[in-house]
Amino acid sequence: MRIKNLLKFSLLTIIFSCSNIENNLDRTVITFWHTHNKEETSTLEDIIKSYEKKNLNIKVELQQIPFSDAQNKYKTVAQAGNAPDLFRAEIAWDSTICIFRLFNGNR
């Protein structure tokens, strides 16, 4: 239950703070990359379905990225200007994210 609440809080916080999202025929599409395992992904999918039912103008496209590849993939796509709207990052990646300005630059 604690994981589900943490995921829900994290997702909603990120959704409300994101920018540069795609608008698809009056429906906002948010791309969300994550590295969660199967159980966490299932919980996240349930949270997203519930959120989308309450917010019919928002579609969250969830994409699982293997944890072992995630940091390099995020860095590469962000530097190319193709980063997802949201991504789940390890706290240990903070310095890399700041160095490469993945949050505020290169979009």
Ramachandran angles phi, psi of 18, nearest 5°: -80, 160
Can you identify the CATH homologous superfamily of domain 2-99?
A: Periplasmic binding protein-like II (3.40.190.10)
The residue count for the chain: 107
Q: Which residues contact 107 (CB under 8 A, 6 or more apart)?
A: 20, 78, 81, 83
Measured N-to-C along each axis, helices 38-54 and 2-17 cross at an angle, to the nearest 10 degrees, of: 50
pLDDT tens figures, 67-98: 888 888 888 887 788 888 888 877 777 666 66
Under 8 Å between Cβ of 40 and 7: yes
The residues spanned by each domain of the chain are: 2-99
Mean predicted confidence (pLDDT) in 37-56: 93
Query: How many CA atoms lie within 13 Å of 53's alpha carbon, on the beta-carbon side?
Result: 6
pLDDT tens figures, 1-41: 666 655 555 655 555 555 445 555 678 999 999 999 999 99
Q: What is the mean pLDDT of the chain?
A: 76
pTM, to two decimals: 0.64
For residue 60, what are the β-bridge partners?
30
Q: Report d(CA 5, CA 33) in Å as an integer.
A: 19
